[in-house]
Chain A
Amino acid sequence: MSAQTEDSAAPSAVPASSPRSRLARVALHAVRRLDEVSHGVAGPQRVWATIDAGELLGGVVAAARPDGRFDLELHLVAQWPVGPLDELADRARARVQREARRAGLDDVLGAVAVAFEDVREPRVGGEGAG
């Protein structure tokens, strides 16, 4: 009886991952590699976050669309100096598309919304000052 309970509990112990959460992870990692992006923020109530494989990914939300794709929302802290925001957003989207293609998730990638939540002070001597 106890062995049966252990067997039935085993699959739920494995952290869940889905195309939606994997896409969120890929997108967040892709934009964080940009020099002008410091990090993603989950927000005061942690609503801008997605859980993938048991890990909370702050700063990215993936929402399903009727056509089976997922729209992404990226909530980012910019790293000063930034430059034109439209160009930065375009580069972020291009990088997300590229990384999604590499991960085999480009067929589920929808629109990518970019929101800058704050700006971090310039790095001093290569270190984050903010």
Chain B
Amino acid sequence: MVLLLRALARLVTFLLLVVLAVAGLATAVFALGAGAGDFSLPGLARLVHLPDLRDQVGTLLGRVEASGPLAAVTALCSAGAVALALLLLAGALWPGRERLVVLERASEGRLSSRRRALARMAAALVEQTHGVTAAKVRVLPARRRGGRLLVRAYHSRAQQPQELRDRARQALEPLTAPFALRARVRPRLGTRGRRVE
């Protein structure tokens, strides 16, 4: 959702900047001309039908001031525009997902790891556990330090899920114990075609 909003915000920003650039260029070119002829600022206003637009907006505002169906539609449209603007702002300002997991902050230097590297290390540790046939790991970094390891450990029917979970957690201790990393292990019965021990 946030990715979609961010893409939409970038597209709208780009289009608005293009419109602004074209409008600025046109104003600058027409400002070279003097008087009230075609090649002048009043001429540009006539070219883009600004007087007509002024009349139409004036008529519309006059109707909106009076109570009636048009006023209700205008209020709804305004509320929609405000909601759309808020969504675009959220898309533009929402912080992106951090790809770096900060494991330790010390005076001698920071220790960190990419999510992918940490996930691969965790998966390798869990796959070395007795009874685990394969493992998938997702890493969710915390805002300041540490994060969570979401582990799916696949096993055969012969394994007890609870015991396997304990063994997998124990295997992850070199990663979790020294740092603010929490592991959530979910044992899953391995599907056909997966590696067997």
Contact = CB atoms under 8 A, between A and B. Distances in A.
A binds B: yes
A86 interface: yes
Nearest to A77: B117
Nearest to B110: A113
Interface in B112-148: 112-114, 116-118, 120-121, 124
B109 A93 contact: yes
Tell me what chain B mostly uses at the interface: helix, strand, loop, or mixed: mixed
A83 B175 CA distance: 8
Interface residues of B, number: 21
Interface stretch (B24-32, B38-46, B76-84, B99-107): B99-107
A113 B117 contact: no
Tell me what chain A mostly uses at the interface: helix, strand, loop, or mixed: strand
A89 B104 contact: yes
Interface residues of A, number: 21
A114 B109 contact: yes
Contacts of A89: 104, 109, 111
Interface stretch (A8-16, A98-106, A115-123): A115-123
A37 B139 CA distance: 22
Given A82-B121, A93-B108, A115 B114 contact: yes
Given A85-B175, A85-B178, A112 B108 contact: yes
Given A117-B117, A119-B117, A84 B174 contact: yes
A67 B124 CA distance: 42
B59 to A, nearest CB: 54
B14 interface: no
Tell which of A80, A111, A113 has the most Cβ of chain B within 10 Å: A113
Interface of B: 100, 103-104, 107-114, 116-118, 120-121, 124, 174-175, 178-179
